[in-house]
């Protein structure tokens, strides 16, 4: 929580990139998310910043001498790992400079603005890639609503396990199968043990699901054996993206005892291409989840007044579904749920500090998934397992269709944004994936 409001958050400021001033847009001057992109004519992956309908090429801007010295080398790399390693002072210096360069007030029409314009690439011409080479991907389980809803299907009498309110439960996911938004997802095959079947069977998953999550990219991190205290946790978070933790529920329920999810999830995990910095989210910080009376306080290593007061993020997260029939009939994607990240039981800082509390080393570019973001309301449930009560109450879609789980050709679209009176709306962009049939 070290960042404070500054001129980069000023709602009165506009960009000379006209599309950035659209009040409904994701990428205004106040956002400035980073990503990795290439184009048909320049195929080398390089860092960029989204501004309106354009990408600013950070490699070119750096080579032209327009960026702070300390970030220039990092902005020449094919991933954001080097930039992530630099830490908050460098990130903030870059953000401040970009805000100046792209601001209509700070960069008047003239030669400098023309130089910057030369470094812009239309977003529609950019191929967006994974922001980082992820060494380790960890997935948490930080929504108590999700944990309770899922637990209730397995253990109606005691939905929540005894450790939940004490331990920010997490597990290691698969780094190799992280893919960027827009990459199709092949339906996995695997073992399941359907009710009434005389023996387990192997075949295409019949219960393919999505999970709506927020992803945090690790910054400088820590060396092996050295924990990260809660007060320093956010210095080690470069920013956030959307994440779809695709899940094959039939595989999961058969395989997960006693060592947790494995093939039910490691066939693909989709990440959105733009990483929104914590500094961009300063106006939208809010209290951590208010634990109801009777819940234990976090143990001291996970407790701080500052974390409780401002550890949350008021971030609206939406799931939309587009089926082949809807696509054929030009029906727009259907909103199936809308949740808010402030409903999470554990803050990002608590997740990171817990992760490193045993000395586990977190490295620049590592990815922390929040776990499914589900709120207390039924329409704030972040996966079909919860929304349809494991398929028993299928979701009604426009045109008379229904979905218990995902079908081939379905596209799942996540959107995320922060909005608050007096500030400019900041968007996370989209995280999309379409289901391909299982391989034969």
Residue linked to tokens 């080479």: 133
Tokens of 415: 């959107």
Nearer to its own copies, 44 or 259 (CB): 259
C-alpha to C-alpha distance for 133 and 155, rounded to whole angstroms: 38
Contact 206, 250 (CB under 8 A): yes
CB of 283 to its own copies, least distance (A): 33
Residues serving a catalytic function are 146
Nearer to its own copies, 4 or 176 (CB): 176
Nearer to its own copies, 355 or 425 (CB): 355
Distances (CA, A) of 131 to 220, 271, 390: 16, 9, 33
CB of 256 to its own copies, least distance (A): 7
CB of 61 to its own copies, least distance (A): 31
CB of 299 to its own copies, least distance (A): 5
Through-space distance between the first and last CA atoms of the chain, rounded to whole angstroms: 50
C-alpha to C-alpha distance for 416 and 273, rounded to whole angstroms: 13
Nearer to its own copies, 23 or 162 (CB): 162
Nearer to its own copies, 107 or 363 (CB): 363
C-alpha to C-alpha distance for 336 and 295, rounded to whole angstroms: 31
CB of 9 to its own copies, least distance (A): 34
Nearer to its own copies, 21 or 206 (CB): 206
**Residues facing 432 on adjacent strands:** 413
CB of 135 to its own copies, least distance (A): 6
Which residue, 150, 164, 181, 143, is CA-closest to 432? 181
Tokens of 209: 């699901």
Binding site for its own copies (CB under 8 A): 135-136, 139, 141, 151, 161-163, 166-167, 169-177, 179, 186, 188-191, 193, 199-202, 224-227, 248, 251, 254-263, 266-268, 296, 299-301, 354-355, 357-363, 366, 439
194-212 burial: b if 16+ Cβ within 10 Å, else e: eeeeeeeeeebbbbbbbbb
C-beta pairs of 37-44 under 8 Å, 24+ apart in sequence: 37/121, 37/126, 37/127, 37/128, 37/129, 37/273, 38/126, 38/127, 38/129, 39/121, 39/125, 39/126, 39/127, 40/125, 40/127, 44/78
Contact 219, 342 (CB under 8 A): no
Distances (CA, A) of 171 to 87, 96, 123, 261: 26, 36, 35, 8
CB of 199 to its own copies, least distance (A): 7
Ramachandran angles phi, psi of 428, nearest 5° = -90, -5
Nearer to its own copies, 193 or 308 (CB): 193
């Amino acid at each position: 929580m070290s960042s404070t409001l500054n001129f980069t958050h000023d709602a009165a400021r506009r960009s000379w990139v006209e599309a950035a001033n659209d009040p409904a847009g994701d990428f205004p001057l106040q956002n400035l998310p980073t990503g990795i992109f290439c184009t048909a004519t320049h195929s080398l992956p390089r860092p960029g910043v989204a501004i309106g309908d354009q990408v600013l090429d950070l490699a070119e801007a750096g080579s032209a001498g327009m960026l702070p010295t300390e970030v220039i080398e990092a902005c020449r790399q094919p991933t954001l790992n080097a930039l992530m390693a630099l830490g908050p002072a460098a990130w903030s210096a870059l953000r401040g400079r970009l805000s100046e360069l792209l601001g209509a007030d700070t960069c008047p029409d003239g030669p400098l603005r023309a130089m910057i314009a030369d470094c812009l690439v239309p977003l529609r011409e950019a191929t967006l890639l994974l922001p980082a080479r992820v060494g380790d991907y960890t997935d948490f389980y930080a929504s108590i609503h999700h944990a309770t809803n899922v637990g209730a299907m397995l253990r109606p009498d005691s939905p929540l396990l005894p450790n939940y309110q004490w331990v920010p439960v997490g597990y290691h996911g698969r780094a190799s199968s992280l893919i960027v938004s827009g990459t199709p997802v092949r339906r996995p095959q695997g073992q399941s043990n359907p009710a009434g079947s005389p023996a387990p069977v192997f075949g295409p998953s019949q219960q393919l699901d999505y999970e709506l999550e927020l992803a945090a990219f690790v910054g400088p991190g820590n060396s092996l054996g050295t924990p990260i205290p809660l007060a320093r946790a956010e210095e080690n978070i470069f920013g956030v993206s959307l994440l779809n933790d695709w899940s094959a529920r039939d595989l999961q329920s058969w395989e997960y005892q006693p060592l947790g999810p494995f093939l039910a999830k490691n066939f693909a995990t989709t990440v959105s291409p733009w990483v929104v910095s914590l500094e961009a989210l300063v106006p939208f910080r809010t209290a951590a989840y208010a634990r109801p009376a009777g819940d234990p306080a976090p143990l001291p290593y996970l407790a701080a007044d500052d974390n409780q007061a401002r550890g949350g993020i008021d971030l609206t997260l939406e799931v939309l579904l587009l089926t082949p029939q809807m696509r054929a009939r030009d029906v727009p994607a259907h909103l199936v749920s809308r949740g808010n990240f402030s409903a999470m039981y554990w803050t990002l800082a608590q997740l990171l500090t817990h992760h490193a509390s045993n000395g586990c080393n977190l490295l620049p570019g590592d990815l922390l998934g929040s776990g499914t973001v589900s709120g207390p309301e039924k329409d704030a449930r972040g996966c079909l397992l919860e929304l349809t009560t494991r398929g028993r109450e299928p979701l009604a879609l426009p045109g008379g269709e229904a979905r218990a789980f995902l079908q081939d050709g379905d596209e799942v679209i996540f959107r995320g944004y922060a909005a608050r009176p007096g500030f400019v709306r900041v968007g996370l962009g989209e995280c999309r994936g379409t289901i391909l049939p299982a391989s034969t």
